[in-house]
Amino acid sequence: MANAKKESGSNGGGMFSGIVIVLCIFVGWLIWNFIMGAGSNFEGGVNTGHPLPGNYLAMVYKGGPIVPVLMGLLLMVIVFSFERYFVISKAAGKGNLDAFMRKVQSSISQGNIDEAVDACDKQKGSVANAIKAALVKYQDVKKEGFTSEEASEMIHKEIEEATSLEMPMLEKHMTILSTLVSLGTLAGLLGTVTGMIKAFSALSAAGAPDSSALANGISEALINTATGISTSALAIISYNLFTSKIDTLTYSIDEAGTAIVNTYRRFRGTLK
């Protein structure tokens, strides 16, 4: 049942990712073609003319056909960053995670497992679900009277299984963000190369070099470079931020698991 649920979620997530990627590229093209390329941004009222002085939309439009791709990549970073933020925030639960962990650890150290389970029910989220699974297992092994080593192994195994069910949801789309780090740079570099090719073509023309074509080629190269670097920088920040948050969640689960095991060992020690 768990595998079927995971497979269904994976298929749904893959479809969502594909739709978002296509839509972002399409929206990037719309912005480039109809907003940046609007005639009102250029001299003579057509986008084949020179950009009006100080009109940055027109300047970016002159970056060429690589610009809508870069715009799409930038939109992907923004969309997937917001999606990861909401998912990871939901995984942390309804209340403050640090306050929840302090309450749960206090209840566990006092041997008040029912109170800790109630706190998990109120908190909800991936962390609370994994800790609750470990607490339920604790109550089971306590009734059966297992040794400390057996109980420790069973509780840790329960935490690992619960965490393995929650982690795919937390790590979903993180690969896309990490890929966008490289794609942003590479797409910007491609735009830089095409712009420089145009610039050198203008220089190699017979007679006097076409200064307009030369300027356009250099502008295209610089615009694509700046857009690609900006996309990669935002993707790096988002990826590292969410990776840190995921590590914090998994550490909280492991910390609670250790506290549960130590509580059981103290319980076994009182029976001797």
pLDDT given for residue 159 in this prediction: 85
pLDDT at position 10 over 70: no
For residue range 104-120, what is the model confidence (pLDDT) as tens digits?
Answer: 888 888 888 889 899 99
Sign of CA dihedral 248, 250, 253, 254: negative
Beta strands in the chain (DSSP E): none
Find out whether 5 and 164 touch, Cβ atoms under 8 Å.
Answer: no
Give CA 49 to chain center in angstroms: 40
pLDDT bin (cut points 50, 70, 90) of residue 49 is confident
Predicted TM-score of the model (pTM)? 0.84
The position carrying tokens 């970073």 is 77
Which residue has better confidence, 76 or 95?
Answer: 76
Contact 73, 187 (CB under 8 A): yes
Which of the 8 DSSP states describes residue 63? T
pLDDT digits (tens, 9 = 90+) for 222-266: 889 999 999 999 999 999 999 999 999 888 888 888 888 888 777
Token output for 164: 């393995």
CB atoms within 10 A of CB 128: 27
Checking if the pLDDT of 123 tops 80, the result is yes
Answer whether 42's CB lies under 8 Å from 51's CB.
yes
> What residue has token string 């909401």?
86
Give the residue-averaged pLDDT of 63-89: 93
- Residue 1: its pLDDT value, please? 44
Q: Is pLDDT of 11 > 60? A: no
Answer with the residue of higher pLDDT: 172 or 206.
Answer: 172
pLDDT of residue 195: 87
Q: pLDDT band for 23, please (50, 70, 90 cuts).
A: very high
